Amino acid sequence: MSRTKTGELTGEFAQTVSPKAIVRSEQRGEAIRASSKVFVLVDALDEYQPSDRSLDKFLGEIFSLQNSTPVSFFATSRHNPGLAVTFEGCLRQDIRAKDKDVHRYLQGHVYELPSFVLRNADLKREIIDRITQAVDGMFLLAHLHLGSLVGKRSPRAIKTTLQQLPSGSEAIEATYREAMQRIQGPMPDQRELAMQVLAWVTCSQRPLAATELQHALAIEIGESGFDEDNVPDVEDMLSVCVGLVTLDEQTYTVRLVHYTTQEFLERTWHQWFPNAHRDIASTCITYLSYDVFDSGACTSDEDLSDRLNTYPLYRYSSVNWGDHARHQCVDTTLALKLLMNRNKVTACSQVLCLDERTARVTGWSQRSPMDVSGVHLVAHFGLEEILRKLLELSVPCDEEDSRGKTPLFWAAANGQEALARRLIEAGVEIQFEELFFSPVAVAASNGHEAVVQVLLQAGVDPDIEDIDGRTALSRAAENGHDAVVKLLLGYLASIDREDCNNRTALLWAARHGHDITVRILLEAGAEPASSDHEYGWTALSWACFNGHLEVTRLLLEAGANPDYQDINGWTPLSFAVENERVEVVQLLLDRGADMDMIHNDGLFALAVAAENGSQTMVTMLLEKGAHKRQSKEGHLIRLLNAVYRGKSHYTKLLLHEAKVAGMLSPADTHAALTLAVWKRHASIAKLLLEYGTEVDYRRSAFVQYPSSTLVRKGSMRRIVQFFKDGEPGLQVEDTSGQTVLTCAARLGHEQLVKMLLDAGANPCARDIDGRTPLIYAAAYGHVSVSRVLVKAGIDITIPDKFGRTALLSAIGGGNLAIVQMLLDTKANPSRQDRYGRDAFYEAKRRGHIDIVRALKQYAGSAGSVGEEVSSGGSIESRKAQGVRACDVCLAPIADVDDAFHCSICLAGDFDICRYCRECGACCLVEEHQLTKEAANLELQCNRVHN
């Protein structure tokens, strides 16, 4: 592997990453395919214990990656029968500690024993020898055995203990029991603290940070406020547990010292702390019921962050109190004190429903449903006894939260069968369409078969549709919930019912690779030939695109057409070739797929492989006879492949052959030149220019490439000189009307902007949307670039075709510094865009409280801002998350925001944010239909809390 490639991979692999990140990064996949050899090292596979069997999926993806890329996989694990089967046939090396290693460990820790031991060399030697002999290479036992000697008061007591050290297969169990007996010592305060620590660490739903555990141990049941003077010291918490508990220095979480400790206590906790879950639930309820939370939900991100920092156990309590209460019933009076207080319930639910994916998106704190009742929480956790009490008190059980969801929806989303049944018996509404999901749809989507059964038995229509026209069968098929699919089919759910994009349940199942689901649907009579509206893709198209081999085989056996062409003329083979799905390509070729089908863009399978630079695909197709195409097309493919790979000598040879035979058109050589510019192959670009290739400077590669890529290589002067002295001039525009200055301003290259202005570039140049360099710089939060453009005398009042000035664009992005600068330059905050929005309306509507204050100060109108306005944030921080932008206001659209999409305008890439849509904005052609992409579809598909 080259030094350069090693450096590229170091940034990806030589760090601690989650297993999912190893196989799901497209950039990492490209780096792997471009390398001669890659090693993936995963430590402690046995500790990867998610509840959804995602370890199996992770390993499957790694093994699949090995089939198509040069990946070697190295993993470590303690003995695990399941993993042993998975890695059967692989090289294996058993590693265990030797006696000398244990000796060295004990010699380094013997100083922890009483001083009389340290003065007696023979006794020290006996301790080390006897413990080494007893532990049989297990450091954990050495640690625990040594700890059992710490409190001994004489050599005789130590020798007696050494003679009784357990060994053999029962040693660990006996050692743990001995440690628990030592905890039951004569000091009640220490015993109580130790048992509380062990109960929380053993029975908590997730690892607890040290500060969380400190707060948990400081809470007195029933009190109305937190007492800082009651917080125990971390060292005390650890020491009273006689070595069974440790502090993880990396994560600062308190955990049991070994996985066998966890197994022992999970098996025997009823013996040591039989009321653990009840006590934990009561502690959490008390915490959530503190008077300080009477204020209700926080109204800004900053306020909620402060609350969670000040009360570190609040998140855990909100998310998990009900799970503990479901394990062991709590005092109903204590629970009702919380559940009957609407403000405290809303505050709790705000944290319960937080989506971790939005943690850095402005307004994350306001994305949880509000107007939540105590019955919603009870339904969410499945607390039957408490629901019974609430019904006795005639508490309404059919109220909707701010998203229109009733407690029945919350119960269905979380698989609470008994609660769903009890609510139905109480007479709640069941036959209605939710805004995004019905209870039966969300239960089906999450695979809760029992809840789906209850709802269907109660008379719910299995074909009820959500806002996207999707049914419960569609949702269940998408997620591969086979039992739910069978259940719905048994209730005569429509198998080929299409959603708003003409996608059937079979298409969703095939898209996501659920082969068993696909088999069930096909056997039930699903039509394999149906295609969606958006792309014209069939189930086979999706399966081949995503590389789902078994699904592809099933669909072909069911009669799916391997040569079906979508709206762009692409076939399943084209998709498989494009994504290097080797096994799928082989299967399609074996089934007679036509390699010579021409796409609407003139490409075909071999051309796709060559364009992608995939030697594997090119070789496979050539061996199957793809070389029989016309020589001109084959020559172009070889040329593009050579240019793509930077093979200058081969490119020169191909150009010479083409010149002799006249095989390349001007369009062909220009395509090659564009590719050379894009791939930064300067020598090849020079060859193509010498060949006589004419340059179309309007192609975006020639305008945007210098300002976006070469600038990073320190070539700014070369860029300016190229456009200043060359044929195009500084005012050349790409196909979207953007000049080099516009591109540089949009990308935030301050130095390049200065140089282009000095060279005579027009600062007021407008693209086809009427936007100036300043509008882009302001929208994307480039403060220094905006300042340079303003100083250059640019007209700050120029609006784009939507009537939006630089000031409105800066406000849309939430950048106070640029807004302040434009106001100082006499920008008019009263000017409205096409949709009637002025600066104040824009800032207030988007929640940029700091900008609202600046505008009020500018207008000389002092006063406070309404509480409904939340703190804004810079577009730069939001852009860093890779979110798309609104094509009207340029503000970013996060994945969790509502948005509207036109699949026709801008080649199907036109988006409008909800703020613009609410003001009447539409796409470039008013007659086009906009598709709403809801913010919380996926969130509502998943568990309602973390």
Q: What is the pLDDT of residues 654-664, one digit of tens each?
A: 787 677 666 77
**Rounded Cα distance, 217 and 200, in Å:** 9
- The pair of structure tokens assigned to 28 is 């990492």
Any idea which of 45-59, 361-375, 497-511, 780-794 has the lowest mean pLDDT? 45-59
pLDDT at 209: 96
pLDDT-based confidence at 920, cuts 50/70/90? confident
Q: Strand (E) positions, 9-99? A: 38-42, 71-75
pLDDT-based confidence at 709, cuts 50/70/90? very low
Half-sphere exposure of 836 (CA within 13 A, CB side): 4
Q: Is 634 a residue whose pLDDT tops 70?
A: no
Residues 6+ apart with CB under 8 A from 417: 448, 450, 451, 454
pLDDT at 408: 96
pLDDT at 706: 45
pLDDT at 758: 84
Any idea which of 188-202, 483-497, 676-690 has the lowest mean pLDDT? 676-690
Residue 891 · residue 880 · CB < 8 Å: no
Nearest to 335 by CA among 389, 255, 371: 389
Residue 571 · residue 564 · CB < 8 Å: yes
Q: What percent of the chain has pLDDT over 90?
A: 40
Question: Could you tell me which residue, 106 or 58, shows the higher pLDDT?
Answer: 106
**Rounded Cα distance, 366 and 144, in Å:** 48
Q: Is 894 a residue whose pLDDT tops 80?
A: no
Mean pLDDT within 727-749: 70
Domains of the chain from N-terminus onward:
3-86 (no CATH), 184-274 (1.10.10.10), 277-368 (no CATH), 377-476 (1.25.40.20), 495-629 (1.25.40.20), 763-880 (1.25.40.20), 883-946 (3.30.60)
Say how many C-beta atoms besides its own lie within 10 A of residue 54's C-beta.
Answer: 14
pLDDT for 287-304, tens place per residue?
999 999 999 999 998 999
Question: Could you tell me which residue, 31 or 667, shows the higher pLDDT?
Answer: 667
pLDDT at 866: 38
pLDDT at 675: 72
Q: Is 879 a residue whose pLDDT tops 50?
A: no
Mean pLDDT within 598-626: 76
Question: Using CA of residue 820, residue 822, residue 825, residue 831, what is the dihedral sign?
Answer: negative
In terms of pTM, does the model score above 0.75?
no
pLDDT at 176: 86
pLDDT at 941: 38
Q: Is 720 a residue whose pLDDT tops 60?
A: no
CA triple 141-144-149, angle to 5 deg: 125
Q: Which residues of 246-260 are buried (b: 16+ CB within 10 A; e: fewer)?
A: beeeeeebbbbbbeb
Q: Is 163 a residue whose pLDDT tops 90?
A: no
Residue 538 · residue 528 · CB < 8 Å: yes
Q: Is 213 a residue whose pLDDT tops 90?
A: yes
**Rounded Cα distance, 473 and 463, in Å:** 8
pLDDT at 834: 86
**Rounded Cα distance, 61 and 84, in Å:** 18
Which region holds residue 920: left if phi is over 0, alpha if psi is between -120 and 50, else beta? Answer: left
Helix axes 301-310, 314-327, angle to 10 degrees: 60
What's 628's DSSP letter? G
Residue 257 · residue 143 · CB < 8 Å: yes
Helix (H) or strand (E) holding 785: helix 783-791
Phi, psi for residue 293 in degrees, rounded to 5: -95, 10
Which region holds residue 636: left if phi is over 0, alpha if psi is between -120 and 50, else beta? Answer: alpha
pLDDT at 459: 94
- 255 forms beta bridges with 246
pLDDT at 53: 58
Question: Could you tell me which residue, 245 or 868, shows the higher pLDDT?
Answer: 245
Residue 549 · residue 558 · CB < 8 Å: no
pLDDT for 528-558, tens place per residue?
999 988 789 999 999 999 999 999 999 999 9
**Rounded Cα distance, 309 and 304, in Å:** 9
Write down the residue that tokens 């860029």 correspond to: 719
Helix axes 374-381, 314-327, angle to 10 degrees: 60
- In DSSP notation, 137-185 reads T-HHHHHHHHHTTTT--SHHHHHHHHHT---STTHHHHHHHHHHHHHTS
**Rounded Cα distance, 696 and 410, in Å:** 58
Write down the residue that tokens 């801002």 correspond to: 865
What's the mean per-residue pLDDT of the chain? 81
pLDDT at 782: 92
Q: Which amino acid is located at 167 in the chain?
A: S
SS3 159: helix
Mean pLDDT within 153-181: 82
Write down the residue that tokens 């302001």 correspond to: 778
pLDDT at 540: 97
Taking CA atoms, 809 is separated from 290, 747, 787, 799, in Å, by 43, 15, 15, 10
SS3 221: coil
Residue 283 · residue 221 · CB < 8 Å: yes
Say how many C-beta atoms besides its own lie within 10 A of residue 15's C-beta.
Answer: 8
pLDDT-based confidence at 254, cuts 50/70/90? very high
Q: Is 606 a residue whose pLDDT tops 50?
A: yes
pLDDT for 13-50, tens place per residue?
333 444 444 444 444 555 565 566 778 888 777 666 55
Question: Could you tell me which residue, 360 or 751, shows the higher pLDDT?
Answer: 751
Q: Is 618 a residue whose pLDDT tops 90?
A: no
Mean pLDDT within 708-730: 47
Half-sphere exposure of 230 (CA within 13 A, CB side): 13
Helix, strand, coil in percent for the chain, rounding step 5 = 55, 5, 40
Residues 6+ apart with CB under 8 A from 724: 730, 759, 760
- The pair of structure tokens assigned to 526 is 């699903």
- The pair of structure tokens assigned to 698 is 């309007």
pLDDT at 869: 36
Residue 99 · residue 107 · CB < 8 Å: no
Say how many C-beta atoms besides its own lie within 10 A of residue 103's C-beta.
Answer: 15
pLDDT at 261: 87
Any idea which of 227-236, 328-337, 932-941 has the lowest mean pLDDT? 932-941
pLDDT at 913: 85
Mean pLDDT within 398-404: 89
Any idea which of 364-378, 512-526, 682-696 has the lowest mean pLDDT? 682-696
- The pair of structure tokens assigned to 511 is 């898209």
Residues 6+ apart with CB under 8 A from 259: 46, 47, 78
pLDDT at 168: 64
Question: Could you tell me which residue, 940 or 918, shows the higher pLDDT?
Answer: 918
pLDDT for 431-466, tens place per residue?
766 556 789 999 999 999 999 999 999 999 999 998
- Which of 96-100, 723-727, 886-890, 903-907 is most confident? 886-890
Q: Which amino acid is located at 536 in the chain?
A: G
Q: Is 698 a residue whose pLDDT tops 70?
A: no
**Rounded Cα distance, 490 and 344, in Å:** 43
pLDDT-based confidence at 202, cuts 50/70/90? very high
SS3 256: strand
Helix (H) or strand (E) holding 59: helix 54-68
pLDDT at 935: 52
